[in-house]
Amino acid sequence: MSLTSPNGMTVADGTGVGTLLDTDTGPAVSISDLTTSECSGGGTFTANVTVNLSFGLTTNVDVDFETANITAQAGSDYVAKTGTVTFGFMETSKTIGIDIMCDNTVEPDETFAVNLTASTFSTIADSSATVTLEDDDSAPVVPAATVGDSIVTECSGAGSTSITFPVNLDQAATGPVSFDYETSDMTATAGLDYLAKSGTVTFAIGQLYQPITVIVLCDAIDEPNETFAVELISMNGGTISDGVGIGTIMDDDDPLPSPIVSVTDAGGYECSPMPFYVTKPIISVFNLASGSVTVDWELTSTSATAGEDYVDASGSVTLTPAQPFVEVPVIILCDEVVEPNESVQIVVTGVSDPAVTIGDGTGNIDIVNDDPNANSATITYLLQNGGFRNPGQRHGLVHCQRPGVARGRQGQVQ
């Protein structure tokens, strides 16, 4: 209040100030939680968080805020932000815009906070809002791979053919899928029946089938049907349901005659004066196409005596297509005994492979006597003159000697 126009006096202090004491509380500030779907692809979108005053004022109200990580991360899930929200004349609602970053990552829902840190002409009733980012990305399709079995008829002669193994996915992939594979022997042998192979096969997006082709080698060998395997050993972008495919190579060759083992005869003259000599009957196999066979043999006396006429022995030999025959040394003992011709037999007693038959399994070894015949004799006539008593006569001495018999009597023959 001001005093004006004094009359008969002066005014020392003409203005008085009246103060109205406000006993009312200012508005309450609160911030609301927000749930929003995350975006896919690149770029960002804005999530608006609401801040409210309990009632409006005629003067401005400033509210400070800042963001904070919970499970969402600033820089990868949202853009961090600090600032001030200003409520104007009688305003009661404002928003804070937060930029949300878009991605294609399959992940759990994530959260971050918007915190109110200070305000003017008001009190903070609810100082924190939780912003929930709901993941909108679909889980990628994870296909399962299966490799199938395959059969091929073997080719004859030189050259090769091929066998193809199908590899299938149970559902189309939404991203690239690849797998590594390799072959392995079962009854077929790499390098002889097929060519070993390993590698990587890739399915493009949407593909369901890919082949694996393996080279099969031709031959003219009669043999059983043979098998080998193709195995998926690792996979990227999928799983392996059935990772082994069996390849069967069907034989197309006519069967060969059964392998036959036989032994030859042998022999020679009895020796003297050497201590012994060696004769060599031959054990052989015919029609052996592959592998090997072990043949057991032994000597069996017929008229010769072991230890006197020959050295008793037994053993085994191994025959292959590259070495189908083997000489067996048999030792014949020498003597000077006049005796008849004698013999011993070499006999095949067994084979290691039941598919191999024994043909001529006995070989005769003849020991021919080389000493003079026991029934022969040598007669020696020594001619002599008659001498003084009988000058007209001729007479001599006769010697008769049989081998192995002491010298007999000596006489004269006229």
- Regarding whether 383 and 285 lie in a shared domain, the answer is no
Residue 391's pLDDT band (boundaries 50, 70, 90)? low
Quote the pLDDT of residue 206.
86
Tokens 């007479």 locate to: 395
Residue 172 lies in a domain: yes
More confident residue, 87 or 105: 87
Cα dist from 267 to 48, 234, 280, 301, 341, whole Å: 115, 68, 8, 14, 11
Structural domain total, the chain: 4
Quote the pLDDT of residue 96.
96
pLDDT for residue 252 is more than 70: yes
Q: In angstroms, rounded to a whole number, what is the distance separating the alpha carbons of residues 43 and 197? A: 47
Quote the pLDDT of residue 1.
80
More confident residue, 192 or 398: 192
Tell me the per-residue pLDDT of 365-382, one tens digit each, with 9 for 90 and over: 888 877 665 555 555 545
- Do 248 and 230 contact (CB within 8 A), yes or no? no
Domain end call among 250, 272, 301: 250
Residue 293 lies in a domain: yes
- Regarding whether 221 and 265 lie in a shared domain, the answer is no
Q: What's the CATH number where 117 sits?
A: 2.60.40.2030
pLDDT for residue 125 is more than 50: yes
Residue type, 7: N
pLDDT for residue 404 is more than 50: no
Instruction: Find the mean pLDDT for residues 177-204.
Output: 94
Q: In angstroms, rounded to a whole number, what is the distance separating the alpha carbons of residues 108 and 49? A: 21
More confident residue, 179 or 106: 179
- Regarding whether 196 and 116 lie in a shared domain, the answer is no
Average pLDDT value for the chain: 84
Domain end call among 208, 231, 250: 250
Residue 189 lies in a domain: yes
- Regarding whether 324 and 283 lie in a shared domain, the answer is yes
Lowest mean pLDDT across 22-26, 253-257, 373-377: 373-377
pLDDT for residue 387 is more than 50: no
Lowest mean pLDDT across 84-98, 177-191, 274-288: 274-288
Quote the pLDDT of residue 392.
54
Instruction: Find the mean pLDDT for residues 203-218.
Output: 92
Domain end call among 207, 231, 250: 250
- CA-wise closest residue to 340 among 364, 306, 365, 366: 366
- Do 299 and 259 contact (CB within 8 A), yes or no? no
Tell me the per-residue pLDDT of 352-366, one tens digit each, with 9 for 90 and over: 999 899 989 998 988
Residue 148 lies in a domain: yes
Q: Which domain holds residue 393?
A: 378-413
For residue 95, give every residue at least 6 positions away whose Cβ sits within 8 Å of its Cβ, in sequence order, or none. Answer: 48, 49, 50, 51
Residue 185 lies in a domain: yes
Residue 22 lies in a domain: no
Quote the pLDDT of residue 141.
77
Quote the pLDDT of residue 405.
46
- Regarding whether 158 and 129 lie in a shared domain, the answer is no
- Regarding whether 316 and 279 lie in a shared domain, the answer is yes
- Regarding whether 149 and 129 lie in a shared domain, the answer is no
